[in-house]
Amino acid sequence: FNPPLSSSCVQVSQYACQRRTTLQDTNRIFTDAFDILAEYFEFSENKGRKVAFLRASSLIKSLPFPITAMKEVERLPWLGDQMKAIIEEILEEGKSYKVLELMSEERYKSFKQFTSVFGVGLKTSDKWYRMGFRTLEDIKNEKELKLTKMQKCGFLYYEDITSSVSWAEAETTDQLIKSIVWKFVPDAVVTLTGGFRRGKKNGHDVDIIITCPRKGKEKNILHNTISVLKNQGLLLFSDIIESTFVETKLPSKHVDALDHFQKAFLILKLPTQQTAIGDIIDPCGCEGRKWKAVRLDLVITPYEQYSYALLGWTGSRQFERDLRRYTTHERKMMLDNHGLYDKSKKVFLKASNEEEIFEHLGLDYLEPWERNA
Ligand code: TTP
Ligand code: MN
Ligand code: MN
Ligand code: MN
């Protein structure tokens, strides 16, 4: 018996690592709504519902067809009654009044503003909200309020940092870092990762991962690179985190926890491109200025962990969550940015590229641009 090939019969895996999710999202009207709801529940500290909406959104992003009728989503995993009600509302009305109502709640609006500042997360937002602050203006007017150095920079470069980083700016940053790193370590491997590696045309930051095939030669790269940036007047902010990696530790399940690599969260003073006649191209509205503040994450990894680090830092976050969930529940293994541990054989599995990690896990290989879950 061959069932007819219609959208309602398509088998869709419950795991993003078994779906090919490109940037071509033909259902943005639905996934935008679900992403907002995930954020709404993140702000209300309801982790369960946040994850539920992220999974639903991610699943819809992988559909190759635009949703036009309820029967097309009937049998899909992760779509509960509440999600189906929202899809139905959008199909009928072109928008969801339920979502608009939640978006207009005071707590959501305040948290949306607060968390848009570099260095401000849920903890600080909650504190400010409970102190009675509602807008960023409220915060700026409160001169007594203690801000971290990171948050001060977040306010100082707010416009630049919240305007997205273009592909060209990511490319410029990548070239700049390569030219500096290769002066110290000519055989260092420097890779643009994160959203740009997945093919995104813009992002909220630039992510770069660095390693060296000669053991231990990666260790001084971070400090040396940051010194050069500083001396060239290109560094506006740096938060350096030293490695906390311990060989004997088993992989951690938590995707949202920081990994143990040496890394730095930076703000660069990135020179903006000039044309032949010397006019300043002004992509960010920074009129009359020859630079733009750009967020950069630099990660240093030992060579033998590089493939795992690259897989972890390429994202998307939801892809990484599902990859770990799949590893734990379907393979009885443990995966993080440092390695893969086989619990039955009690060994760490080596991998010299991402393809080998997918092989260890018994998964078909997904290219970075198919990981936009
Ligand atoms: P992000 O830079 O936050 O996200 P992105 O590049 O996918 O999208 P954009 O910047 O355009 O908003 O994170 C990139 C990946 O890095 C993500 O999959 C999570 C991962 N990551 C870690 O694995 N460990 C860490 O410590 C951090 C900060 C991120
Ligand atoms: Mn990024
Ligand atoms: Mn991000
Ligand atoms: Mn990042």
- Distance of CA 74 from the midpoint of ligand 3 (Å): 31
Pick the CATH number of 165-246+254-302 from 3.40.190.10, 1.10.10.10, 3.40.50.150, 3.30.460.10: 3.30.460.10
64 pLDDT higher than 90: yes
- Find the catalytic residue in 207, 259, 322, 336: 207
362 Cβ partners below 8 Å, 6+ apart?
331
- Find the catalytic residue in 25, 205, 322, 336: 205
Handedness of CA 253, 54, 27, 295 (dihedral sign): negative
Looking at the DSSP bridge assignments, the partners of residue 206 are: 296
Higher pLDDT, 85 or 7: 85
Q: In the chain, which residues fall in CATH 3.30.210.10?
A: 310-370
Closest ligand 1 atom, residue 257 Cα:
26
Question: Percent of the chain beyond pLDDT 70?
Answer: 93
Higher pLDDT, 287 or 135: 135
8 Å CB contact between 12 and 19 = yes
Please write the tens of the pLDDT for every residue from 111-159. 999 999 999 999 999 999 999 999 999 999 999 999 999 999 999 999 9
Confidence band for 279, pLDDT divided at 50, 70 and 90: low
Q: Ligand 1: which of 163, 205, 254 to mutate, judged by most atoms within 8 Å of the beta carbon? A: 205
Q: In the chain, which residues fall in CATH 1.10.150.20?
A: 108-156
CATH 3.40.50.2300 matches 310-370: no
Residue 259 is a catalytic residue: no
Closest ligand 1 atom, residue 203 Cα:
11
192 pLDDT higher than 70: yes
Please write the tens of the pLDDT for every residue from 332-347. 999 999 999 999 999 9
Q: In the chain, which residues fall in CATH 1.10.150.110?
A: 7-102
Decide whether any atom of ligand 1 lies within 6 Å of the 218 Cβ. Answer: no
Residue 25 is a catalytic residue: no
Residue range 281-309: average pLDDT? Answer: 87
Looking at the DSSP bridge assignments, the partners of residue 348 are: 341
Confidence band for 254, pLDDT divided at 50, 70 and 90: confident
214 Cβ partners below 8 Å, 6+ apart?
187, 303
- Find the catalytic residue in 138, 282, 297, 342: 297
3-state secondary structure of 372: coil
Q: In the chain, which residues fall in CATH 3.30.460.10?
A: 165-246+254-302
pLDDT score recorded for residue 217: 97
Domain 108-156, what architecture? Answer: Orthogonal Bundle (1.10)
**What is the C-alpha separation between 207 and 191, in angstroms, rounded?**
9
86 CB burial (10 A radius; 0-12, 13-18, 19+): buried
Measuring CA to CA, which residue among 98, 91, 99, 34 is closest to residue 60? Answer: 34
Confidence band for 4, pLDDT divided at 50, 70 and 90: very low
Decide whether any atom of ligand 1 lies within 6 Å of the 301 Cβ. Answer: no
Residues flanking ion ligand 4, Cβ below 5 Å:
205, 207, 297
Pick the CATH number of 7-102 from 3.40.50.2000, 1.10.10.10, 3.40.50.970, 1.10.150.110: 1.10.150.110
Q: Does ipTM come in above 0.85?
A: yes
285 pLDDT higher than 90: no
